[in-house]
Amino acid sequence: MTAGPASPIAGAGDGTVRHFTRDDDLSPAEQAAVLSLAAELKADRFARQPLAGPRTVAVLFDKPSLRTRVSFAVGIAELGGFPLVIDMQGTHAGRGEPVTDIARVLAGQVAAIAWRTFGQAAIEEMAAASSVPVINALTDRFHPCQVLADLQTVRAAYGRLAGLVLTFLGDGSSNMAHSYLLGGATAGLQVRICAPEAYWPAADVLAAAAALAERTGGSVAVSADPLDACKGADVLATDVWTSMGQEGQERTRSGAMAGYQVDAAKLALASPACRVLHCLPAHRGEEIAAEVIDGPASLVFEQAENRLHAQKALLCFLLDAAAGERREGRG
């Protein structure tokens, strides 16, 4: 989390408000607690009402979405709140209203802000200027809400996370690969990113994940050999080869990643109990074979549902932290 400029808004930029702009904003213990609460909320959807009032949460979109839009809107309503979903094309952002001004205007009226945008720097700027929690609903760099849901899904399937081998195949420089590195290392997973060399993860993300893995007993590895990376894997994960914002690169990327499709042959190399993840939307026949995504190993629709529960748990955690700060007179 970046430190912000001096701000007249209590809590903004002074490090006392908790945000979730990247996966490692939650410590290993905090991530485990959020995942436990997510499982509780899945069993009893209306058990927590931190937004009763209703208090409002703003959910902002600079890019398309189905799952994120639905899961935040439904989740905020189930927590007793009002979801204010805004397509940013209809605001003044496109003609240059500063992110810091947007943050201050929203924070004066809402309990939290979730934002799907392009640059990671923008959401960190928003967080630094906001006196309420800011949640990354996907940037070019990270998709941490998705990986929280994915961890909830894997934990439910295996009853544990630490020590499991998760292999991600495809675009190793994508937001999903980066979030599997940070979120997976936080959970003590053995994360293998397998991609053509031109699409390997950013060095700083890999280094941060390696440092985390050292603390949690997990590990991180990057390779270009898909057959080797799939051997013995407990989870195979993939994502589209061309992400939002990379339109026009489809041919180059499909050519480079053709050997990295999650298909039956690669699944056969994995552990017999191996489960398959894809955050959706998927292109059957490109990054994943239809028979795999629609087959018995696939957990993709559990993942999609768990976005709801994981984000509700995250909101409870961040709102609890904010309330704690207010009680202690720091906010």
Is 307 considered catalytic here? yes
**How far does Cα 108 stand from its chain's mean position?**
26
Residue 66 interacting entry, from ligand NVA, ligand CP, none, C-beta within 5 to 8 Å by type = ligand CP
- Whole-angstrom Cα distance, residue 266 to residue 293? 13
Is 279 considered catalytic here? yes
Among 7, 31, 56, 65, binds ligand CP (CB under 6 A): 65
- For 26-46, give the DSSP string: S-HHHHHHHHHHHHHHHHSTT
Is 278 considered catalytic here? no
From residue 156 to residue 185, the character string flagging contacts with ligand NVA as x (rule: CB under 6 A) and all else as - is: ------------------xxx---------
Q: Is 66 in the site for ligand CP (CB under 6 A)?
A: yes
Classify residue 125 as exposed, middle or buried by CB count within 10 Å of its CB (0-12, 13-18, 19+): buried
Window contacting ligand NVA (CB under 6 A); options: 10-18, 35-43, 239-247, 291-299: 239-247
- Whole-angstrom Cα distance, residue 287 to residue 237? 10
- Comparison of 150 and 325: residue with beta carbon closer to ligand NVA: 150
Among 111, 240, 277, 318, binds ligand NVA (CB under 6 A): 240
CB of 143 to ligand NVA, least distance (A): 6
Interface ranges with ligand CP (CB under 6 A): 65-68, 138, 146, 279-280
Tell me the catalytic residues.
116, 143, 146, 239, 279, 307
Interface ranges with ligand NVA (CB under 6 A): 138, 143, 174-176, 239-240, 243-244, 279
